[in-house]
Structure 1
């Protein structure tokens, strides 16, 4: 599992983007593969100086991977800020 995600990440980076939008990149993967995919995304974005927007419903992923988080509810942005603040002391 996870080979398709790795290929998609490589294809996305081949175009030298300024931003990668990863929509639920770890859905249907077991936990060890999820960690590998998330680490790959993080490392490649840092190495290539590419921004990454991660779309997920998994708060574990959010807390372990992101620097900043935007919370949306019914299509509206309801909160944005540093991950630790938003998850630890939401408005």
Structure 2
């Protein structure tokens, strides 16, 4: 069992829809949720990082194939900087 809080305008629209279709308010909820689930399951899963992936340009080519090498270089530079500060 679930409950949903709606503003008065949405509640009025819900009741009108149910009356127009000759079904209960609960049935309108069920139908709407089924449509929502079907629509969402057909969409590719979006990562929570989708809005930032690919928006930066490193200026370097072949990072997708050299990512381990580049990461190693970054860590080496960071490690060398830490060592020179000691």
TM > 0.5: no
State TM-score, norm by structure 1.
0.27
**Structure whose residues are more often strand by fraction:** 1
**Structure whose residues are more often helix by fraction:** 2
State TM-score, norm by structure 2.
0.28
Larger Rg: 2
